[in-house]
Each structure stands twice: as structure tokens, then as C-alpha cells.
């Protein structure tokens, strides 16, 4: 099977991202040529209205047109565009599908939560499986949803929870910083989602907990005390559970002005990273406790910069 130059596009609730890579399935290699990320907030207001806002659609389609130019310039052979939580939830998603088709020339796929989880697992474990022991619990913490998928060589159980950084910010965390009552309300949503998830995914079997996506990578930079966003230091970082929880608590308690001063925090995440920290804190605590009940001990958490984008790229080349 020859090397294929592919473009993977992940369109989530908060950001749209592009990976152009040369993939060789026979050799098991994926070589980046371009990784781009734009915060477009496609999910603006979707939790409340059930609709994609016109201005959010235009921001997203403008970014898609820019990505098309990049793909053309790099001679991409195949493109896969995957849309996730916000688009799944929107009644007017056909407007989005039509716009992407016109901008990119391919049919966007609005994937279900289990497919999103499978792609995230493939992307993360393709790099980490040789360095850490399974079973892995891969957690993809997005703007509208959070996917949990457990497995060693392949996914064995997966679930998508309707909690994410944008959704919980819009639903509960209105003050700056959020009040204790608002935090408690958001916590209640996450705990209820985790209760349901634990009935599907046996969290106590986790040996290596892996966190993905912008909230998790930003909180890892926070825990490491970086002076800028350094992908090479964040990717594969191993943090103690207590260090992760402390990073989350500190970020949640900060004002937006204080967050904006952090040199590794993307401006498009300033208003929603508190909710991301809350979700990640609650997930890590729950997994730690479930592992303990099962007779084990979760001592560390791994962060991966390889995520659903890599999974999408592998899926194109392996088709």
C-alpha cells in the first residue's frame, strides 16, 4: 500500500482543525506536513437554541475555504471532513453540510459519538501504545461533548457524554469567575453523565488514562508552568493525578483576565477553559476512584497531542 497524502479536518464545537500528512499504513508511519487550528465557536448557542448561528456558520465556512487552499497547495490526494457534537445537535445542519460541500468539494460527515470515540482512540494509541500499558482510557474533551473509550489494541467500550467546555459555560458558568452555585450545577451535569458512562465503559479497568484536545493540552501546559505553548513538551507528558487536579482547580478559580495573561492559552479558549478544567477534574477523580474500587491505583495521567485528527488521517489511508 503506497504512501498517501491526506487531509483530515475535525470540526468541533469550539474549533476547526486541519492535518495534512503523508501516511504509510504498511510501515505504520504518519508524517505531519501541516497542522492548523482556528477557534470558530461553531457551537455558539446550540445548546440553548438547537441551531447553528449564521455568524458561527460563516466563521467556520471561511476557515474551511482557507483549509481548501492549503490542501490544494500541498497536493492532497484525499480529504475527510468530520463534524462532531455541535453539528450533531443542530436542526439546521444541512446548511452547514451544503456550505462545506461548496467550500471544500467533499461531503462532510456528521459522525455519531461512538465513531468520534473510535477515531480519537486510533489517533492517540497509534503513538502511545508502544510506551504505556493498556487498557487505555482515552478521553477526548471537546466543546460540546466528551468521549470516553476503553481498549488495548482496539476499542472495547465507548460512550459520548453531552458535556463539554462550551456547553457547560453557556449552560452554567455565567459569572467571572463562576460562583460556587454555578460550579455545583455544572458538576451535577458532569457527575450524572459519568454515572451513565460508567454503566457502559468499565472505568475501573483503566491502566493508562490519556487526555486529548485543547482543554486537556492547555491544562497540561498550566501544570508544567510553560512560558509558551510547546507542543513537543505537552505531547506525551506524564503528570501525577494530584498535579492534574491542582491545575484544574487553579484554572477554574481564575478570572478571564487572569487566564488571558497565561502565555500558553489560546485567546479563543479564555472564556471556556474553566468549564474544560471542571470536566477534566471530575473525569480524573472518577477514574481514580473507580480504579481504586477495582483494586488498582491510578497514579498518573498522560496527555496526547495525537487525537481524532490523526485517527481521521489513518482512516483515509486505510480505506
| Cell numbers 445537535: residue | 89
Phi, psi (degrees; rounded to nearest 5) at 158: -150, 150
pLDDT at res. 307: 87
| Average pLDDT along the chain | 91
Of 9-13, 111-115, 235-239, 306-310, minimum mean pLDDT range? 111-115
The residues spanned by each domain of the chain are 4-113, 123-303
State the residue for C-alpha cell 455565567: 174
Termini Cα distance of the chain: 11
Average pLDDT on 208-223 reads 95
Rg (C-alpha) for the chain, rounded Å, is 18
| pLDDT, position 62 | 95
pLDDT at 85: 62
- Of the pLDDT bands very low, low, confident and very high (cuts 50, 70, 90), residue 251 is very high
Query: What's the Cα-to-Cα distance from 62 to each of 17, 85, 266, rounded to whole Å?
Result: 13, 20, 19
Burial of 229 (0-12, 13-18, 19+ CB in 10 A): middle
pLDDT digits (tens, 9 = 90+) for 16-36: 999 999 998 888 888 999 999
Q: How many CA atoms lie within 13 A of 109 on its CB side?
A: 15
| CATH architecture of the domain with range 4-113 | 2-Layer Sandwich (3.30)
Please check whether the two domains, 4-113 and 123-303, share a CATH topology: yes
Cite the DSSP H helix spans in the chain.
46-49, 54-74, 85-89, 93-104, 113-128, 165-171, 180-198, 214-224, 231-234, 241-253, 256-260, 273-293, 308-318
pLDDT of residue 164: 92
* Residue 156 CA neighbour count, 13 Å, CB half: 13
Q: pLDDT tier at 1 (50, 70, 90 boundaries)?
A: low
| The pLDDT of residue 149 is above 80 | yes
pLDDT in tens, 56-108: 999 999 999 999 999 999 999 999 999 876 677 788 888 889 999 999 999 89
The more confident residue out of 212 and 144 is 212
Please, which pLDDT band fits residue 187 given cuts at 50, 70 and 90? very high
Distance CA 168, CA 265 (A): 19
Match 455558539 to its residue by C-alpha cell. Answer: 44
Q: How far apart are CA 266 and CA 231, in angstroms?
A: 13
- Give the mean pLDDT of 259-267: 94
Note the pLDDT of residue 318.
78
Q: Give the mean model confidence (pLDDT) for residues 296-306.
A: 94
CATH number of the domain located at residue range(s) 123-303 in this protein:
3.30.420.150
Please choose, from the candidates 282, 238, 10, 302, the residue with its C-alpha nearest in 3D space to the C-alpha of residue 143. 10
Instruction: Indicate if the pLDDT at residue 254 is higher than 90.
Output: yes
Judge whether 209 and 137 are in contact, CB under 8 Å: yes
Closest CA to 41 of 62, 64, 13: 13
Q: Which one is predicted more confidently, 113 or 145?
A: 145
Amino acid at each position: 500500500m503506497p504512501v498517501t497524502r491526506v487531509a483530515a479536518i475535525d470540526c468541533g464545537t469550539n474549533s476547526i482543525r486541519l492535518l495534512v500528512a503523508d501516511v504509510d499504513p504498511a510501515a505504520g508511519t504518519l508524517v505531519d506536513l501541516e497542522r492548523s487550528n482556528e477557534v470558530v465557536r461553531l457551537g455558539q448557542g446550540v445548546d440553548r437554541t438547537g441551531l447553528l448561528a449564521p455568524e458561527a456558520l460563516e466563521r467556520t465556512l471561511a476557515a474551511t475555504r482557507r483549509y481548501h487552499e492549503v490542501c490544494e497547495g500541498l497536493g492532497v490526494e484525499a480529504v475527510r471532513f468530520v463534524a462532531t457534537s455541535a453539528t450533531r445537535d443542530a436542526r439546521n445542519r444541512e446548511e452547514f453540510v451544503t456550505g462545506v460541500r461548496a467550500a471544500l468539494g467533499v461531503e462532510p460527515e456528521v459522525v455519531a459519538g461512538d465513531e468520534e470515540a473510535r477515531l480519537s482512540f486510533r489517533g492517540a494509541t497509534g503513538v502511545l501504545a508502544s510506551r504505556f500499558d493498556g487498557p487505555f482510557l482515552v478521553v477526548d474533551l471537546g466543546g460540546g461533548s466528551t468521549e470516553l473509550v476503553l481498549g488495548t489494541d482496539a476499542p472495547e467500550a465507548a460512550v459520548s457524554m453531552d458535556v463539554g467546555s462550551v456547553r457547560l459555560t453557556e449552560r452554567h458558568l455565567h459569572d467571572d469567575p463562576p460562583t460556587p452555585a454555578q460550579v455545583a450545577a455544572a458538576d451535577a451535569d458532569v457527575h450524572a453523565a459519568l454515572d451513565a458512562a460508567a454503566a457502559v465503559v468499565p472505568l475501573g479497568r483503566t491502566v493508562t488514562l490519556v487526555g486529548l484536545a485543547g482543554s486537556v493540552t492547555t491544562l497540561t501546559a498550566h501544570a508544567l508552568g510553560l512560558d509558551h505553548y510547546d507542543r513537543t513538551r505537552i505531547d506525551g507528558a506524564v503528570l501525577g493525578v494530584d498535579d492534574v487536579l491542582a491545575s484544574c482547580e487553579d484554572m477554574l478559580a481564575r478570572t478571564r483576565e487572569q487566564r488571558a495573561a497565561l502565555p500558553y492559552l489560546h485567546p479563543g479558549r479564555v472564556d471556556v477553559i474553566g468549564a474544560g478544567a471542571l470536566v477534566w477534574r471530575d473525569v480524573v477523580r472518577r477514574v481514580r476512584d473507580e480504579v481504586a474500587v477495582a483494586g488498582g491505583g491510578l497514579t498518573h495521567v498522560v496527555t496526547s497531542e495525537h487525537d481524532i485528527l490523526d485517527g481521521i488521517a489513518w482512516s483515509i489511508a486505510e480505506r
